Every structure is written in C-alpha cells, then in structure tokens.
Structure 1
C-alpha cells in the first residue's frame, strides 16, 4: 500500500479523477459518426452526454455520504466495477436506447472517482494545503482531456467508435487493480458518520444554508457549464459546420485543454501568494471576457475555427484557476462531512451544467450561435456568483475571528 501523503498517492487520486473527462471527451470526435451508425440525429447523440451528466450528478448524492460511513476505498471499488460493466454495454450497443442506458450506468459508477478523490484530498491534507494539491492534481489530470479526443479520433479512424468504449473498459480494469492493491484508506474510523437518512439529510440541509458553500459551488458550477456547453456542441460546430476533420478537431481540443493546464499550474503556484479569492477574482473575469468574446464573434458572422478555439482557450485558462480554488473553498469549512460536501458540490455542479448546457442542443441551428451564447452566459454567471455570494461570505468568515477579539 502507498503512504497517504506520498506523491504516488496524489498521482493515483489524479488518475481516478481523470475518469470523468476521459468518459466525456474521448468520444466527442465520434459523435457525428455514432449518430449515422445508430440511425439517429445529433439531438439524441447529444443526449448521451446530457444523460451522462445527469447520472453523474445523481450518483454523487449517494456515493459521498456512503463513503463517509464505510470509507472512500470500498465505494470507489464498487463504482469502478459498475463503470466497467457499463462500458462493455456501450461497446456492444446496436441502438441509441442501449447506448443511453450504458452511458447512464457509466456515470453512476464513474462518479465515485472524482467525488471521492476530492474528499480524500480533504481527508489527507486539510483545508489550506488542499487548494494547492487540488491545483496540481488538476494540472496532471489535464493530460486526460488533452489526449482523449485525439485518441478517440484515432480509434474511430482505425477501429470504429466501439473501440473507444473498449479502451474505457480497460482503463476501469487498471483502476480497479490499483484500488485493490495500492490505494490506502484515507478516512479514519473515528471520523466515520452514520448512514441514516436523517443524518445525511441534516448534512445536506446544513450545506445548503451555508452561504460560503453555495457561493463557491455556484461559481464553479456556472463556469463548468461553459465547459460542458463546449463539450456538447463543439463537434457539431467545428466538424459539421466549419468542416474540421475529427483529427483536426482533436488537435484543437488539445490546444484548449492546454489552457486549462496553464490555469491549473497558475492556481497551484500562486495559491499561497495571492490567496483563493484574489485568484477567483481574476479567473471569473477571464471566463466572462472569453465567453462574451466568443458570443460576439459568432453573432458578428465570424465563422472560423479560431473564433471558437481562441476564446475558449482563454476561458479554460480561467476555469483552470477557478476549479480547484472554488472546490477547496466549498469543502474547507466542512471536514466533518467532506464526502457529503463533495457529493452535493458535484451534484450541483453537474445539474447546473446540464441545465445550461442543454440549451446548446435545444437551440442548435446549425451554426455556432447557441454554443457561443451559452458559453458567454456561463462566464458572466460565474463572475456574478463569485462577487454576489462567495466573496461576501468569505469576508464575513474572515471577520469573525477579529470580531471575537
């Protein structure tokens, strides 16, 4: 077994967290081909992404509280086993209905990786150091979404879209082996909580009335909605509308994820020097400017790949800073129920993203308008959430010790 505070343990937690972006990003270049192969339309194929997010959100309400009672490791083992089964179901799907069921089950199993890896970081490193560790984890796991579309495009070209789900199944097998033979349990027995519904609901009620938790969570969720809007609509905009090949799309996606990588490195490097709220101030402004720029270019009739990719690189730099800082801000005041806090955080993140991101499929008109407008709206809402909720709550919390004196 690895030591809890070792670099290897942090790397393992990052690879567990990477399952989320792998399961969403790897099949993006294949979505138009999958629609044709399964004799369905773009709206139903986009539904596989929305349904994945919905299942991911729902699963988080259960896996976090259960892990507060039984520990992080056994719940992750069960989740990755379910993900393995669901990936095989997707691989064998011959119609859209089977694929939708498989994607929902994939989400239900895959949610345990990101949710419980976040909670494990809070268990091991505490409220201050968790911001830095989450930032470096984010920069490491940025390799997953950077490489996933390129790998997916290659598998599509040489083996067909089913090979993408075969590779996801193999990834799940590797993670199961690491969990069983290498991952230590991060949650001490003395900090385990009851699994009684009344206790779980009391924790959720406390978190939903905690302005700090809600403020940082909505700052993250609305920013994530901009990323989800791009995931939902970019293959149809860049491949179908603008004429990129799946491989060119994968290269563009790598450049966008490089922005996230840069942002997460900045977040880790300057976490102690500038502080959480100063970084979030810059990050939310960056997301708002990038999103509104993309929307402005789209409605001005600038239909080139760089009018989409360029602004979204900047958006992802901002989100790379925003994600670990807002995540740590939401979890910091709640060490006694880190699993429940991580669950509710993830549920709200995915729910808000799915609702806002659904606008892309609902109003897609064959151009970049719907996607660009949604990303612009998400950036603005993230900035508003930080300034109106997260920042005032953080200042109140900072003022309490001095008032007590």
Structure 2
C-alpha cells in the first residue's frame, strides 16, 4: 500500500498537522480536570455527576473511533476529518454555554465524538505516509506531543480557571478546533492508499473488526495499552477530589502535582524515541511493563508501611507514567503493524479499546466515591497486573500458533 506521491513530498506539513490533531482529545480533558471542583460548586452538582463528564467523554471518544476509522478507509481521511472537527467546534461551544451539569455532560459526549476523529486519523495517516520501520519512532513523537500537552495542560487549566473562570478553557478549545479545521482544509492532501476501498457492508465490517480484534499480535499490544491507560485514568478521575482532599491543596497546586507526575511520561517518550531503532519496540514495551509492575510493588509496600499518604499514593504514580511512556507508542505500533490495508480500522479499534478501558476505570473510581484514595489504588493495581498478564498470555499464544503452522 502506498500513499499518494504528493504526500511524501510534504512530510513536515503532514507531521505538524498530525501532532496537533493527536493532542486535541487530551487537551479537551486535561485542561479542565483541575477545575472539576469549581464546576461542581458553580452548578451545584455532586462530584460523581461532574466526574461522569470525564469517563463519558472517554467512552464516546472510544466508540466514535469505530465509526471514523472504517469510514476513512472507505471515504478518505480528509472528508471524515473535516466532519469530525466541525462537530467538535459546535460541541465545544455547547460546553462553553452550558448552565447545568446535564447540558455540560451531553456537550462533552458530542465533543468527544468530534475530538476522536483527530486521534484516529492521526494514527491512520502515520500508517499511510511513513514506511513501516519508521512508524514506531513517529508514533513515539506524537505520543510525546500528547505527554507534553498532558503535563502542561493541568497547570494551565488550573491557572486559567482561577483567573478567568473554567468557561474560558472551552472558549480557547473552540478557537483551536476552528484553526485545525482550516489547516486541514488548506494543508492536508488525501493520504488514504490509492487501492484502499474499505469495507462496504455491515456484515463485512463486523467480520473485519473481528479478524483484527482476535489477531494475537493485536491483543498482545492493545490490551496492555488499554489497561495501563485505565490505570492512569483512574488517577485522573480520582485525584481532583480524593487526592485533593487528602493533601488539602488548591486548584493551582493540584495542577502542578499533575504536571510533575506526568513528567515521567515525557521522559520515557523521549527515551523511547531515541532508543527504538537501537533496542527495538518489543524490548521497550517490556521495559515499560516492568516499570508498571514496579509502580504496583512500590504502592503496595508504601501502603503497608505508611498507610494512605502522599508518599504511598502520589509519588509512585511517577513510575506508572514513566512505564506508560514506553508502553504507549510501542504498543500502538505493534497493534497496527500487521494491518496495512485496514490501518484506519486497526487504529480505531486500538484507540477504542484504550478509551473504553480508561472510561471503565474512571467509572469504577467515581462509583467508589471521593472520601478515600483506597478504591483508586486498588483499581490501579488490578489493571496493571492484568496488563502484564495479557502481554505474556498472547505472546505465548502467538508462539503456539507459529509452532502449529510450522
């Protein structure tokens, strides 16, 4: 499969757009996380109701990719991308004008459906444009962009909320959505492979999704990715209330704590980008899962020795984000690598699984309440253990299938 010739002549333009599209979904969440308690107070809403705007966003973000991915394989990347960005801008304006938590939640769901198009199209375009050996390095770069935005956004969001109110966050996001739509319209050529036609019938679509989803290589990479992301989202949902109450800090300070923890994500992504060609994506993935295991061990030991405090609850999260920085780009590359003609579909499916597992962990943390960090930690420990187990299980299954063929 080859992309159109004019695409390969402007990799810088494509690369810049991919980076911007990739961070849209994370910015839409991380900027307003520190302001959740302010929103709850202004709208006289419960913490659980406001938290639902987070995990429902993730749920819609994941499900929407199942539509946009195969649609782009069939119709092309550009029209699908422009449609999604249009929906994003309209929904973000809805968030800006919301006067009740119900309206805010509905607008957030629609915003997620629009934002997910940038996420899945970015991954598909990377698979379209770059040679397969370069895909892990390029994905590491885009994931680094996500990490930088995630590390910086909570601090900015907390500061903006205290200075001008949380609605200003959505005003800025609406402007960003308009600018991205304009850049795509004037600067992005069609990248879908010339001989890619997608899937025509619903039955064929479901069968194709099943074939991708049941592929051992896909499962070996996509499940650990989604589960590690779920562990991170458990903290994102729980920290604005439970951790803030435990530490007794301000909204701005909470944003700084988020940024400090997520710096591990940035560090690991930089190292992954530098080492992937020398070490290989599989070894880096294994290293990331080892760090995730160390997070679980450190958290358990810290809780046994100190109980629930900043040292046992907050500091070990750095190890989780450090491990995630190695896991994310290499897991995505491994999951979509065998599916060149279905790059949009594979990217959509891995993204959907990632977001659904993140939403599930967020829902569980929200349902457990905000009075203690213990449920959040328990959920994190369970899912990181499951991530390592899934990687080992499907590695063994792949080896068994290879032996059967031979």
The bucket for the TM-score relative to the shorter chain is: over 0.9
C-alpha contact (below 8 Å) 2:13/2:187 kept by paired residues: no
1:38 deviates by 0.9
Structure 2, unaligned runs of 5 or more: 1-5
* Residues 186-229 of structure 1: CA deviation (Å, up to 9, x unaligned): 11332232332122112102112211112211011101101111
C-alpha contact (below 8 Å) 1:295/1:373 kept by paired residues: no
Q: Which of 126, 138, 158 is equivalent to 1:121? A: 126
C-alpha contact (below 8 Å) 2:23/2:146 kept by paired residues: yes
Structure 1 pair 296/86, CA: closer, same or farther in 2 (3 Å)? farther
Task: Give the structure 2 partner of residue 51 of structure 1.
Answer: 56
Inter-partner Cα distance in structure 2 for 1:322 and 1:130 = 15
* Residues 313-370 of structure 1: CA deviation (Å, up to 9, x unaligned): 1111110110011111110110011111111111111112222332211113512211
C-alpha contact (below 8 Å) 2:8/2:129 kept by paired residues: no
Task: Give the structure 1 partner of residue 225 of structure 2.
Answer: 220
Matched, 1:282 2:287: yes
1:397 deviates by 7.9
Task: Please give the root-mean-square deviation of Cα atoms over the aligned residues, in Å.
Answer: 2.0
TM-score if structure 2 supplies the norm length?
0.93
Q: Indicate the SS of the match to 2:87.
A: helix
Structure 1 pair 131/303, CA: closer, same or farther in 2 (3 Å)? same
1:270 deviates by 1.7
Q: What does residue range 164-175 of structure 1 map to in structure 2 within 5 Å? A: 164-175=169-180
Q: Which of 176, 190, 195 is equivalent to 1:190? A: 195
Structure 1 pair 306/179, CA: closer, same or farther in 2 (3 Å)? farther
Task: Give the structure 2 partner of residue 138 of structure 1.
Answer: 143
Q: What does residue range 86-165 of structure 1 map to in structure 2 within 5 Å? A: 86-165=91-170
1:5 deviates by 5.6
Task: Give the structure 1 partner of residue 3 of structure 2.
Answer: none
Structure 1 pair 235/333, CA: closer, same or farther in 2 (3 Å)? same
1:108 deviates by 0.6
Inter-partner Cα distance in structure 1 for 2:217 and 2:195 = 26
Task: Give the structure 2 partner of residue 339 of structure 1.
Answer: 344
Task: Give the structure 1 partner of residue 396 of structure 2.
Answer: 392
C-alpha contact (below 8 Å) 2:158/2:251 kept by paired residues: yes
TM-score if structure 1 supplies the norm length?
0.93
Matched, 1:330 2:335: yes
Q: What does residue range 170-319 of structure 1 map to in structure 2 within 5 Å? A: 170-298=175-303, 300-319=305-324
1:395 deviates by 4.5
Structure 1 pair 270/5, CA: closer, same or farther in 2 (3 Å)? farther
1:298 deviates by 4.2
Inter-partner Cα distance in structure 1 for 2:226 and 2:148 = 22
Structure 1 pair 164/397, CA: closer, same or farther in 2 (3 Å)? farther
Task: Give the structure 1 partner of residue 41 of structure 2.
Answer: 36
Q: Indicate the SS of the match to 2:189.
A: coil
1:257 deviates by 2.0
Inter-partner Cα distance in structure 2 for 1:322 and 1:397 = 24
C-alpha contact (below 8 Å) 2:246/2:309 kept by paired residues: no
Inter-partner Cα distance in structure 2 for 1:311 and 1:103 = 31
Structure 1 pair 399/319, CA: closer, same or farther in 2 (3 Å)? farther
Q: What does residue range 53-72 of structure 1 map to in structure 2 within 5 Å? A: 53-72=58-77
